Amino acid sequence: MYEKGLAFRKKSKVNWCPACCTVLANEQVIDGFCWRHETTLVESRELEQWFFRITQYSDQLLDDMKQLEGGWPERVLSMQRNWIGKSRGTRVKFAVAQMQGTALEVFTTRVDTIYGATAIAISAAHPMLDRLLEGVPGQNAMSSQLKALRQKSMRAADIATAEKEGFFTGRFAVNPYSGAQIPIWVANFVLAEYGTGALMCVPAHDERDYEFAEKYHLALKIVVQPLGGTPLRIDRMSEAFTSHGRLVDSGPYTGLTSDAAIEKMTADAAAKGFGAGETTYRLKDWGVSRQRYWGTPIPIVYCEKDGIVAVPDDQLPVKLPENVKLTGEGESPLASSPEFVNTTCPKCDGPARRETDTMDTFVDSSWYFYRYTDAHNDQALFDKAKAEYWFPIDQYVGGITHAILHLLYSRFFCKVMRDLGLVQHDEPIARLFTQGMVQKGGVAMSKSRGNVVGAIDMAEKYGADTGRMYTLFAAPPEKDLEWSEEAIEGSARFLNKVYRLVARHAGRLSAIQTDLTQQTDITNATAKEKALIRKAHQTLKRITNDYDVRWHFNTSVALLMEYVNLIHASEPLDAEISPMILKRVLDVLVLMLSPMAPHISEELWQMLGHTTTLTQEKWPAYRDELAREEQFEVIIQINGRLRGKMLVDDGLGENETRERALTDPRIAVLVDGKEIVKTVVVPKKLVNIVLR
């Protein structure tokens, strides 16, 4: 990646977490705070750092989402689209009045509103700001205001809700379309790292600008009117009009629709040399340097003669030293180990020093699953043929919290490896499932919050199977789960009920040999036996669908509970039920239970006389004809209103069902003497008789 220009080093403003004492990627800053420490405000520092050029793949990361549609949750794809943030618009130069040769550039997606710009707003970190303030009356007062703004962290996620703050610089910019001079302000809602660090302030047509103008009494100028309805008036505006419309008071562009104006105004800016059409991205290059001990050493050395030199393959891996002081202060801990830092240059054999930063651990998690395919290979990352056999991953489970972290980075790594000839596919994961979070008191469990429930504690108190069963039963896997120790006792009672049921009958059934791959003969079965077999195959059919398609294991547990309740209701099980059929009924129960509660299931399996383990058993196949009910309750409606119910035999045709409904004594009275327009039959569900 270094040789291809995808890994590079530069001095840059970075996110610094005082608690972690390390740099964070943009994706690891949540609402201005460290993703690991929700109360630690992230600081901005300027450091020499290593980056991955993920921005080179912005369009591919967007375009290839077509391959993921239907396999990935739309929510994750939407979060990645928004994070990449592709915008098509116009870059425009505003000359600074009385500063010859100086101009501020803005990027806007709504150049059609530029005649309504009543100010230019720039970031407190804009590189030209010091020059703009030089020699301006009141410069000292502005310097203190600027310092205050710079000390307050403002992130993209905060802009919509944070109070807008700023001050007038005393300078003016010239609108290149109208020639009007408009004031230049410093504003906290303009971020240096996005766009150009400057924007045109159009209060009448942008909500954020409207709030700023309201606070600081900036002028509002309407330059886009709605295509229909009541025209806008300044004295009646309570919010910005942000939709497209038709231009007014916009010089030669007046009368054009917004779309037409954007196209023509962009072309004119390019023709006259003060602007051009441009595509921008919110996505920034991935900063991977970390000032931690635990991390992969960056395999780079610095030589006074040869500069930056990559460690050659025959000297890899670079290993972490063991004599390191972890103080939590200052620079990377690796810098405290002279034996690690001092080395020789691979090119000239002269003295050199190693890079002391380590890589973001997300670098490892971006491609670990490829290494799994060939974990003991000491000659390459992995054998290409082995990787192609296994990839793309058929089904991946990962949290929604990693939508713009691990799940985005892994897609980037896949594309880099494809371009390096290591793999042939575009995407690493075909299907993604995002599981819910376990919560306690409405807050997600985490070690940092100290609110976790120990799995070992639960296993010692209730058994490991009970913890598994409760976790599966309490919520669908994609939903958050509120942990309740009272509710977990319900799962414990259910498993005890199953154990007592099997234990009560296992003694007389253990010698009976059954083969669940063979069909059950119910030719001479009693009504009690048929009911149990029918419930067994109905439950098996629905649980198989839960495993294969729906992934709703909570309903699987509920189905097993229903099944066990029916078996209990059929007691005594030695009356009207043959030992062979009862053995099959209990065998199927234990097999269906085993993925959710494997330990108790193995115990029950042995109690029932089996000598193999459940892991060696095939999943049993259900039979539709055995799962089918012999009779169904059919609703009878007249003009859509419920008027009666009837039991019909399975397999009864539509004509026979219709005739049964019409001749039902309760229905016959209601339709007597009336015209039947039509009769709608939904097999096994309802008959709707439409009367005039």
pLDDT digits (tens, 9 = 90+) for 421-455: 999 999 999 999 988 777 777 777 776 667 777 77
Highest mean predicted confidence (pLDDT) among 42-51, 257-266, 332-341, 518-527: 257-266
Give me the phi and psi of 166, to 5 degrees please: 175, -175
Between 540 and 328, the higher pLDDT residue: 540
Please tell me whether the overall predicted TM-score, pTM, comes out greater than 0.75 for this model.
no
Q: What is the distance between the alpha carbons of residues 439 and 434, in angstroms, rounded to a whole number? A: 16
Structure confidence at residue 159 (pLDDT): 63
Q: What is the distance between the alpha carbons of residues 556 and 545, in angstroms, rounded to a whole number? A: 9
**Other beta carbons within 10 Å of 309:** 18
Q: What is the DSSP string of 50-88?
A: EEE-GGGGHHHHHHGGGGTBTTB-HHHHHHHHHHH--EE
Structure confidence at residue 484 (pLDDT): 81
Q: Burial letters for 657-692: b for 16+ Cβ neighbours within 10 Å, e otherwise?
A: beebbeebeebeeebeeeeeeebebeebebbbbeee
- Confidence tier at 158 by pLDDT (50, 70, 90): low
Q: Is the pLDDT confidence value at 267 over 60?
A: yes
- Confidence tier at 18 by pLDDT (50, 70, 90): confident
Structure confidence at residue 82 (pLDDT): 92
Amino acid 691 reads L
Q: What is the pLDDT of residues 624-634, one digit of tens each?
A: 877 776 667 89
- Confidence tier at 660 by pLDDT (50, 70, 90): confident
Q: What is the distance between the alpha carbons of residues 312 and 300, in angstroms, rounded to a whole number? A: 9
**Nearest one of 598, 22, 654 to 328, comparing CA atoms:** 22
Please give the class, per CATH, of domain 631-691. Answer: alpha beta
Q: What is the DSSP string of 380-400?
A: SS--HHHHHHH-SBS-EE--G
What's the token pair of residue 444? 């997600």
Per the CB < 8 A criterion, the answer to whether 423 and 388 are in contact is: yes
Per the CB < 8 A criterion, the answer to whether 521 and 572 are in contact is: no
Lowest mean pLDDT among 26-35, 188-197, 229-238, 409-418: 26-35
- Confidence tier at 203 by pLDDT (50, 70, 90): very high
Q: What is the distance between the alpha carbons of residues 75 and 73, in angstroms, rounded to a whole number? A: 5
Burial class of residue 210, CB neighbours in 10 A (0-12, 13-18, 19+): buried
Structure confidence at residue 653 (pLDDT): 81
Structure confidence at residue 631 (pLDDT): 67
- Confidence tier at 152 by pLDDT (50, 70, 90): low
**Nearest one of 582, 575, 679, 687 to 634, comparing CA atoms:** 687
Q: What is the pLDDT of residues 104-136, one digit of tens each?
A: 999 999 999 999 999 999 999 899 998 999 989
| 181-187 vs 119-122, strand pairing mode | parallel
Please provide the size of the chain in residues: 692
Q: What is the pLDDT of residues 451-502, one digit of tens each?
A: 777 778 888 888 899 988 988 888 777 787 788 877 888 999 999 999 999 9
**Nearest one of 223, 218, 220, 258 to 238, comparing CA atoms:** 220
Lowest mean pLDDT among 38-47, 82-91, 459-468: 38-47
Amino acid 437 reads M
Q: What is the DSSP letter of 429?
A: B
Q: What is the distance between the alpha carbons of residues 116 and 640, in angstroms, rounded to a whole number? A: 58
Per the CB < 8 A criterion, the answer to whether 302 and 353 are in contact is: yes
Q: What is the distance between the alpha carbons of residues 414 and 91, in angstroms, rounded to a whole number? A: 33
Structure confidence at residue 34 (pLDDT): 85
What percent of the chain has a predicted confidence (pLDDT) above 70? 97
Q: Is the pLDDT confidence value at 153 over 60?
A: no
Between 513 and 360, the higher pLDDT residue: 360
Lowest mean pLDDT among 28-37, 292-301, 333-342: 28-37
Between 194 and 91, the higher pLDDT residue: 91
Classify domain 87-280 by CATH architecture. Alpha-Beta Complex (3.90)
Lowest mean pLDDT among 58-62, 404-408, 520-524: 520-524
Q: Is the pLDDT confidence value at 221 over 90?
A: yes
Q: What is the distance between the alpha carbons of residues 45 and 287, in angstroms, rounded to a whole number? A: 13
Domain boundaries, the chain: 87-280, 480-627, 631-691
Strands (E), 73-137: 87-96, 103-108, 119-122
Per the CB < 8 A criterion, the answer to whether 648 and 660 are in contact is: yes
When the pLDDT of each residue in the chain is averaged and rounded to a whole number, the result is 90
Structure confidence at residue 194 (pLDDT): 76
What percent of the chain has a predicted confidence (pLDDT) above 90? 61
Structure confidence at residue 269 (pLDDT): 98
Structure confidence at residue 651 (pLDDT): 67
What's the token pair of residue 87? 């915008």
> Kind and range of the H or E element at 643?
strand 641-649
Per the CB < 8 A criterion, the answer to whether 412 and 362 are in contact is: no
Q: Is the pLDDT confidence value at 551 over 90?
A: no
**Other beta carbons within 10 Å of 443:** 10
Contacts of 59 (CB under 8 A, 6+ apart): 86
How many CA atoms lie less than 13 Å away from 431 in the CB half-sphere?
Answer: 5
User: CA separation (Å) from 562 to 245, 532, 574, 629?
Assistant: 60, 12, 21, 16
Q: What is the distance between the alpha carbons of residues 62 and 352, in angstroms, rounded to a whole number? A: 41
- Confidence tier at 417 by pLDDT (50, 70, 90): very high
Q: Is the pLDDT confidence value at 6 over 60?
A: yes
What's the token pair of residue 666? 């309760």
Amino acid 396 reads Y
What's the token pair of residue 511? 């010698």
CATH no., domain 480-627: 1.10.730.10
Burial class of residue 405, CB neighbours in 10 A (0-12, 13-18, 19+): buried
- Confidence tier at 141 by pLDDT (50, 70, 90): confident
Q: What is the distance between the alpha carbons of residues 674 and 555, in angstroms, rounded to a whole number? A: 45
Q: HEC profile for 262-330?
A: HHHHHHHHHHHCCEEEEEECCCCCEECEECCCCCCECCEEEECCCEEEECCHHHCCCCCCCCCCCCCCC
| pLDDT (average), residues 211-235 | 95
**Nearest one of 205, 212, 277 to 243, comparing CA atoms:** 205
Strands (E), 373-532: 396-397, 432-433, 438-440, 443-444, 481-482
> Kind and range of the H or E element at 15?
strand 7-17
Per the CB < 8 A criterion, the answer to whether 177 and 275 are in contact is: no
Lowest mean pLDDT among 344-358, 378-392, 411-425, 483-497: 483-497
The distance from CA 366 to its chain's CA centroid, rounded to whole angstroms, is 15
Residue located via tokens 């009541």: 230
